[in-house]
Amino acid sequence: MLRKTSGIVISYIKYRETSIIVRIFTRDMGLKTYLVNGVRSARSKTKMAHFQPLTLLDLVVYDRETASINRISEAKLARAFQRIPFDFYRSGIGMFMGEILGKVVVDNYQNEQLFDYFFESILELDGPTFQPGLFILRFLIRTSRYLGFEPEDAGEFYLQLPVDPDSRWQGEKTQFLNRLLEDSESVAASLPGHLKRRLTDDWILFYKIHIDGFGDIKSLAVLRTLVG
């Protein structure tokens, strides 16, 4: 049957000479895999740009619950990016977000609230008022909320991590994380870069604890290279 939905592209692989197999997180059906025939051909009406990671799409798709791979009847841009493709920092953060999304959703996993949060976060990343400061940390915190394992406070967070409570930076990390969990907008100006990096690493470890097979985030090293 044909269904209309919104989608966020996660990734694609080349298939044969001119086709691709693309993974898309849809709002109504969760993570789905689609075969797109001929899209890499110069004569294709559908552009390959539509299937780059994090692209926001309006879709009409064939949906058979028993099929592992379905087909797309129509794909249009829900929003055309204005800044992400032309800004190394934004595109680096986009790589990071896409890698996280690819690790936290599985086939047929549906979570409309998570989808809406990702959709709005991508628009924020592309928007004119984007503030890079603590974007990644707040993104990790809020994503954990929609996945159901956001900690109540820094104490609960660090009880789950194999860290030394007496380490040099633990007191400062706990203080700043509590403020972040309270959504305090005043943190950005006062959080030193080295604490930001340490807190980000702690959150990646937190995700590894809560999500089986989460693994390493390769784009994080790339992103840190871009920002120095």
95-126 pLDDT tens trace: 999 999 999 998 878 899 999 999 999 999 99
Instruction: Look at residue 109 in the predicted model and tell me its pLDDT.
Output: 84
Question: What is the percent of the chain where pLDDT is above 70?
Answer: 95
Over 80: is that where the pLDDT of 53 sits?
A: yes
Residue whose structure tokens are 């194999």: 162
Check residue 51 and report its DSSP letter. Answer: G
Cα-based torsion angle of the residue sequence 85, 86, 87, 93 in order, rounded to the nearest 10 degrees: 0
191 band by pLDDT with thresholds 50, 70 and 90: confident
How many beta carbons lie within 10 A of that of residue 133, not counting itself? 14
Largest alpha-carbon pair distance within the chain? 63
Q: Please give the span between the terminal C-alpha atoms of the chain, in angstroms, as a whole number.
A: 49
Instruction: Look at residue 187 in the predicted model and tell me its pLDDT.
Output: 66
Instruction: Look at residue 188 in the predicted model and tell me its pLDDT.
Output: 60
The domains found in the chain, sorted by start residue, are 2-77 (2.40.50.140), 84-227 (1.20.1440)
15 band by pLDDT with thresholds 50, 70 and 90: very high
